Amino acid sequence: MFSSTRKSSSELEDEKKNNVGDLGFSEVASDELATHEFIAEYADEYNPQGLAIATLEDKFKYRNVKTRPTIAAMLILICEFAERGSYYGTQGILTNFIMRSLPEGSTTGKVMPGHTGNAGALGLGLKDANALVTLLQFLAYVCPLFGGYLADDRLGKFKAIMIGVWVGILSHLLFVIAALPPVIAKGQAALAPTVLAILSLSVCTGFIKANLLPLMLDQYPYSTNVLRREPTGEVVYVDRDGSMERLTMIFYWSINIGAFLQIATSYSAKRVGYWLAFLCPMLMYCIVVIAMLIIRPHLKPEVPQGSLLKKAVIVVTECLKGNFIKRLKNKEFWAYAYPSNMESRGVPAEKIKWTEQEVKDYKSTFTQCLMFAYWVIFNLSDSGLGSTLTAQAGAMTSQGIPNDFFNNFNQITIVVAIPILDYIIYPVFSKYKINFKPVYKIFVGFMLGALGSMVSAILQWRIYKTSPCGYYATNCDEPSPLTAWYAIINYGLCALGECFCYTTAYEIAYTRAPDNGKGLVMALFLFNSAISSAISEGISGALYDPNLIKPFAGIAGVGGLCAFLFLFQYWNLDKVMEEEERERVASKQELGQLEKAEIQSLVRVISK
């Protein structure tokens, strides 16, 4: 017989709470995710339905966790370390190699024992040296446009990077040949391998720089923010944005570690000879070949989908038809190319070769390019105009320290600041639920850059006031009594600015770009450095005493204005990015369901 005793509501609730499933967590716990959509491809024994797509409210409801970088992702950093070490290590010694003649008694470019001065080799003068070094700086940020495009369109990121590595080895081999004593002795004859080495090094940078960070971020396991049940039964919020941020900061940290190779190559040239200075980066690339071949089986497979550039040109052409100016005013420019709208205008469906999501991707890419234009001004704050920052340090008392030594404090600041931000500052913000949005980080970075230029303007004014030569202090035989260590204030502030605005820009460039455009979008962001270099080179002839206060003050003013304009224009950038991500996930799920339905239909046909 059945008992007639009824359980109270509290007893029923207790029983429900204690009803533990086979996996060790309560059924109540599983009910809390019932309203979420799931991504089945991430299913495991603790998440049999897959991982739940997290909402914004979930971020504050559950404990936030970041995924750790895989071993493969970390080994990719070796390649970035070598590439940046190669670029900065070569750029730092190239001016003296081309400009200065061989030191007395030297055949390799080194300074002989008992002598003072700087290393040198070809003796072609400052004009030729500036022209070739500027060419390297410019092409190094133009070539990524080709490297990123080819990787997206047909090569894939890994193959593009490996091409860059092999070209890098060839480049440094040419540099070593140019630095051999018999070649140096021929004077201008050594210029041919040097120019070929500069061009090939630019190609190397182009194929590596545009694709390395996207390849590293591609190794992140989840396509969006998700809720994951741990073996303990706890549901955690896996913060994709935070994880991407950490990976990007580690990447940027490795860039600046690699830049320290400049110190090693400078001393190698001065103490041993240029052949060793150029050989060191080549040996690093040889190590990279081994590392990349080891990690290749552990990387996610990639299939180039064809660059978005080809189809984007056709879509933009379609959008420019009719009264496009009116549509621009009404913010309907891109909607004109939506397949549904085109079909309503009588365009046959078979002639439309793109989806609505692809049009939205092109819109996102185009708006990113406009947004990246703000970094042109920050770059001018960060690196100064021409050689103004180096010249400013040279006008102060340095007590025997080379005036080009102080720019190393940019890298030193970044290497110290990034771990502090990643492991202390940002976790504190997260703990107290302070939403430090991307637009805030970029604003802070821009303001720090503007502040650095303002400090330089004030410092230049003090140099003019204290120099024996007054407002003609740059080439004065007697420096200002001010210590040259003041120069590190600008380098430190701008470096902190990079930690905020550059790492965030890298993250945005990757996350907002479609799968078949990540390399190209990254290259478009890097191209802003080429524009800044061109501006700097174009006005460098006007940078002379007694007018050096104005450039620093002007950059400070424009930089501060751009910071506030960016804050105003992109105040809701985080919401726009969230909406774009939701649309992409929904589009992928819909496409997956269509493919599944087609396969099932095909199976039924075959079975009949």
**Do 548 and 593 lie in a common domain?**
no
pLDDT digit string, tens, across residues 59-114: 888 888 888 777 887 788 888 888 888 888 888 788 778 877 888 888 888 878 87
State residue 553's pLDDT score: 92
What is the rounded distance in angstroms from the CA atom of residue 231 to the CA atom of residue 22? Answer: 12
Helix pair angle (518-539, 126-142), 10° resolution: 160
Lowest mean pLDDT, pick from 56-70, 152-166, 462-476: 56-70
Tens of pLDDT along 443-457?
999 999 999 999 999
Strand pairing class (63-65; 235-238)? parallel
For 333, the domain range is: 308-354
E strand segments, 311-407:
396-397
Mark whether 376 and 232 lie in a shared domain: no
**pLDDT tens, position by position, 322-379:** 888 888 888 888 888 888 888 888 888 888 888 888 888 888 888 888 899 999 999 9
pLDDT in tens, 251-282: 888 888 877 777 788 888 888 888 888 898 88
Q: Which long-range contacts (C-beta less than 8 Å, at least 24 apart) are formed by 50-54?
A: 51/222, 51/226, 51/227, 51/228, 51/238, 52/226, 52/227, 53/224, 53/225, 53/226, 53/227, 53/585, 54/224, 54/225, 54/226, 54/227, 54/237, 54/238
Q: Are residues 385 and 522 in the same domain?
A: yes
Assess if residue 268 is contained within a domain: no
The predicted-structure confidence for 290-314, as pLDDT tens digits, reads as follows: 888 888 888 888 878 777 777 888 8
- Average pLDDT estimate for 475-500: 90
Do 519 and 377 share a structural domain? yes
Domain containing 225 — which CATH number? 1.20.1250.20
Domain count, the chain: 4
Residue 531 lies in a domain: yes
pTM of the model: 0.80
292 and 403 in one domain? no
461 and 330 in one domain?
no
Query: Are 230 and 189 contained in the same domain?
Result: yes
**Band of residue 58 on the pLDDT scale cut at 50, 70, 90:** confident
One domain, residues 290 and 312: no
Query: Is 15 contained in some domain?
Result: no
In-domain check, residue 111? no
**Statement to judge: residues 419 and 343 lie in one domain:** no
Q: Are residues 445 and 404 in the same domain?
A: yes
Question: Domain check: are 388 and 454 in the same one?
Answer: yes
Percent of the chain predicted with pLDDT > 90: 20
